[in-house]
């Protein structure tokens, strides 16, 4: 089975949005390697939601074609809470960069309520739904609702939104528990397809012959849309019993026989489930009757990841369309330019720009600072959560001097344990771990951080490296990428004034922006407001030059407020306001300066290190 080499992110960068239905049809018509997709359900707590976001981001690295989020009726699925179905789906789409499908069940719904749900999904950028009837609760539901079957939901969606949504429906290989017969079940499924369903995802099954027969039966009644097998990796004996009881599914005797001796050994059952699922999927894929596999993950990661990798369904050599993760939201399909300041905090940037009607394409243009939204509680929910005790051990149980802070930055870069013997795996200005390219300059960064030049963003200079380079590469094959050396850091007031004096000898080679927290000090030799300095660009066959990362003074002023605020909102809040530790963080927040430097002479060895040496000596 061929390995996948190109990430699905490339589907959303060329020129215009490609609906999920067309992507799946394209896979059916081509000889491309099969894809995989995944299902998750909304957790019950905000902490659980935060953990789920981490799993979604981990799965994104494997390159699923889409992820779907179930409709949890008891959890106010259309609400604004962190655990609602529609909130989780919006986060998966906009912040985890996953093409997302939202389950919607219609039983018990009135037209106006369903319309609001669909409008809300549309407002978030969601363009895929799985249309389901849902479980009947009482006769009262049946009498007072406007929708009784999934076909009613499909027709209503088509009536209100035309072809805006790609619509999937559920198929039952072993027949729906409430169906009169297999034949009537297939006819109802065909009616849903005829009403506008674009493809089918089956409910779970455990034997390939069941799926083969179902596909054959569907084709015999005139159903021609793609059919994806829904696969559940067996992960524990209890969960298997519970799920099969709910779905009224008969477990094959072979599985019952094999699991009974190990039913109290979760690890053994999980390994058995992985092996069984790998074999099942191989049989299905070898038959060539489906373009991909859909996995019911139960919000767990290990088993599905193992299966996906064993089947070579995961992206092995991802090509990044741009240096940053491209969004799955159709509104951002043509977005090709971002300021470099948020490169380590991409979720923050997405949050602050999610109300924009248009996104920069080809050039940054003139964007006023009021166009950037605020960082509200919605964004804070997205950030990785660590217990206060963990952060205190990493960032300092006590901060008695500026040098204590310098040490934390140094430990973060080197991986060395801090004075408490604890590894520092994050700082407030980075959403995730260090980028690979940082490794090229890590020793120099670590040295200068130990001297009080506290770097929060950087990139080395690059001169015509191939676009397929594993560290610096991005964009189309056979291209070349370029970078200007860039450094962004905090320094104390004395260093800032010394730096400004030194920079007089490097104009115009080095552009700089220097400001303090209050904003009453600002120095720059950059161009006028509204003009930009491209710090990353690429040259590709048959295309215009792409300049995806820029520096501009207006965005810098917006970013500086966020950058300074992180001293308090992330670090300072760990200590009581009366403590020496808090006062030291406050001192740095109030008196340090934020600096960014760009060395425009990218073909030469950068002069930025020389400048920093002059500051400290």
- In angstroms, how far is the first alpha carbon of the chain from the final one? 59
Mean pLDDT of 242-248: 79
Q: Are 524 and 614 in contact (CB under 8 A)?
A: no
Strand partners, 128: 101, 166
Number of helices (H), then strands (E), belonging to the chain: the values are 21, 19
Strand partners, 598: 486, 511
Q: How much helix, strand and coil, in percent to the nearest 5, is found in the chain?
A: 45, 15, 40
pTM of the entire predicted model: 0.90
Distances in Å between the alpha carbon of 113 and those of 41, 83, 187? 22, 19, 29
149, 117 contact by CB (below 8 A): no
Burial of residue 381 (number of CB atoms within 10 Å: 0-12, 13-18, 19+): middle
d(CA 297, CA 312): 18
φ, ψ for residue 351, nearest 5 deg: -60, -40
Identify the H or E element spanning 379.
helix 377-382
- Asked whether the predicted pLDDT for residue 384 surpasses 80, the reply is no
pLDDT at 2: 47
Where does the pLDDT of residue 366 fall: very low under 50, low under 70, confident under 90, or very high at 90 and above? Answer: low
Would you say residue 380 has pLDDT above 70? no
Strand 166-171 and strand 100-105: the pairing is: unpaired
The pLDDT value given to residue 84: 92
Instruction: Identify the pLDDT of residue 13.
Output: 46
Rounded mean pLDDT, 44-56:
89
**Strand duo 128-132 + 166-171: pairing:** parallel
Q: What is the mean pLDDT of the chain?
A: 90
Angle at the Cα of 581 from the Cα atoms of 580 and 582, rounded to 5 degrees: 95
Helices (H), 178-335: 182-195, 208-220, 237-247, 253-259, 266-287, 302-310
Q: pLDDT grade, residue 139 (50/70/90)?
A: low
pLDDT digits (tens, 9 = 90+) for 279-325: 999 999 999 999 999 999 999 999 999 999 999 999 876 668 999 98
Q: Are strands 67-69 and 100-105 parallel, antiparallel or unpaired?
A: parallel
Q: What is the dihedral of CA 194, 199, 204, 205, to 10 degrees?
A: 80
156-170, 215-229, 429-443, 589-603: least confident range: 429-443
Confidence at residue 138, expressed as pLDDT on a 0 to 100 scale: 53
- What three-state secondary structure class fits 392? helix
Please tell me which residue in 14, 29, 39, 253 is annotated as part of the active site: 39
Structural domains for the chain? 8-310 (3.20.20.220), 335-616 (no CATH)
Spatial distance between the Cα atoms of 326 and 17, rounded to a whole number of angstroms: 13
Which residue did the predictor score with more confidence, 379 or 566? 566
In this prediction, residues 142-163 reach a mean pLDDT of: 88
Per-residue model confidence as pLDDT tens digits over 173-188? 987 777 778 888 999 9
Q: What is the pLDDT of residue 50?
A: 86
CA distances from 96 to 54, 325, 365, 504, 592 (A): 9, 9, 27, 43, 33
Q: In what order do the strands lie in the sheet with 510-516?
A: 454-459, 485-491, 593-599, 510-516, 522-524
Residue 15 scores a pLDDT above 70:
no
Q: Does residue 335 carry a catalytic annotation?
A: no
CB 504 within 8 A of CB 610: no
Residue 480 has a CB neighbour count (10 Å cut-off) of 17
Q: What is the tens place of the pLDDT at every residue in 224-238?
A: 999 999 999 998 888
Q: Are the beta carbons of 212 and 287 closer than 8 angstroms?
A: yes
DSSP 387: -
How many whole angstroms separate alpha carbon 192 and alpha carbon 423? 55
SS3 state at 236: coil
Which percentage of the chain shows pLDDT scores above 90? 72
Largest CA distance in the chain: 85
pLDDT in tens, 465-518: 999 999 999 999 999 999 999 999 999 999 999 999 999 999 999 999 999 999
């Amino acid at each position: 089975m061929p390995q996948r080499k190109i990430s699905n992110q490339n589907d959303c960068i060329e020129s215009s949005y490609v609906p999920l239905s067309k992507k799946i049809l394209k896979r059916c018509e081509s000889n491309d390697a099969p894809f995989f997709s995944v299902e998750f359900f909304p957790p019950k707590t905000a902490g659980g939601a935060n953990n789920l976001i981490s799993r979604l981001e981990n799965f994104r690295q494997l390159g699923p074609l889409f992820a779907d989020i179930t409709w949890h009726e008891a959890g106010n699925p259309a609400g604004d809470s962190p655990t609602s179905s529609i909130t989780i789906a919006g986060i998966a789409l906009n912040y985890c960069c996953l093409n997302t499908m939202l389950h919607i069940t219609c039983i018990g719904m009135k037209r106006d309520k369903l319309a609001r749900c669909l409008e809300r999904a549309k407002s978030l950028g969601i363009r895929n739904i799985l249309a389901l009837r849902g479980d009947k609760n009482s006769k009262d539901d049946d009498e007072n609702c406007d929708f009784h079957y999934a076909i009613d939901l499909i027709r209503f969606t088509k009536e209100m939104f035309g072809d805006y949504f790609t619509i999937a429906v559920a198929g039952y290989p072993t027949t729906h528990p409430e169906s009169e017969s297999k034949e009537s079940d297939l006819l109802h499924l065909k009616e849903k397809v005829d009403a506008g369903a674009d493809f089918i995802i089956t409910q779970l099954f455990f034997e390939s012959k069941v799926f083969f027969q179902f596909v054959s039966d569907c084709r015999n009644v005139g159903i021609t849309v793609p059919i994806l097998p829904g696969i559940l990796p067996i992960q524990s004996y209890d969960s298997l019993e519970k799920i099969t009881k709910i779905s009224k599914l008969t477990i094959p005797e072979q599985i019952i026989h094999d699991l009974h001796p190990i039913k109290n050994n979760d690890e053994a059952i999980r390994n058995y489930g992985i092996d069984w699922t790998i074999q099942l999927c191989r049989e299905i894929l070898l038959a060539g009757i489906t373009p991909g596999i859909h996995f019911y993950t139960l919000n767990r990661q290990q088993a599905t990841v193992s299966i996906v990798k064993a089947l070579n369904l995961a992206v092995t050599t991802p090509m990044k369309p741009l240096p940053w993760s491209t969004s799955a939201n159709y509104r951002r399909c043509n977005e090709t330019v971002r300021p470099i300041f948020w490169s380590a905090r991409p979720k923050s940037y997405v949050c602050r720009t999610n109300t924009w009607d248009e996104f920069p394409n080809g050039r940054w243009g003139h964007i006023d600072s009021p166009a950037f939204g605020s960082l509200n509680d919605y964004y804070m929910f997205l950030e990785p959560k660590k217990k206060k005790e963990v952060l205190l051990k990493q960032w300092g149980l006590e901060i008695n001097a500026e040098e204590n802070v310098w040490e934390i930055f140094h430990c973060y870069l080197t991986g060395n344990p801090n004075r408490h013997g604890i590894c520092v795996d994050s700082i407030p200005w980075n959403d995730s771990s260090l980028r690979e390219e940082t490794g090229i300059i890590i020793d120099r960064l670590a040295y200068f951080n130990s001297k009080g030049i506290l770097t929060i963003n950087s990139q080395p200079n690059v001169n015509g490296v191939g676009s397929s380079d594993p560290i610096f590469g991005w964009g189309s094959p056979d291209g070349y990428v370029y970078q200007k050396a860039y450094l962004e850091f905090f320094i104390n007031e004395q260093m800032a004034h010394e730096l400004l004096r030194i920079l007089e000898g490097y104009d115009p080679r080095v552009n700089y922006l220097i400001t303090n927290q209050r904003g009453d000090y600002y120095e720059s030799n950059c161009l006028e407001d509204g003009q930009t300095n491209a710090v990353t660009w690429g040259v590709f066959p048959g295309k215009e030059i792409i300049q995806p990362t820029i520096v501009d003074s207006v965005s810098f002023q917006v970013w500086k407020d966020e950058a300074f605020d992180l001293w308090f909102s992330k670090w300072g809040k760990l200590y009581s306001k009366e403590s020496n530790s808090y006062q030291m963080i406050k001192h740095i927040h109030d008196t340090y300066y934020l600096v960014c430097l760009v060395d425009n002479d990218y073909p030469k060895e950068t002069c930025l290190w020389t400048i920093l040496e002059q500051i400290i000596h």
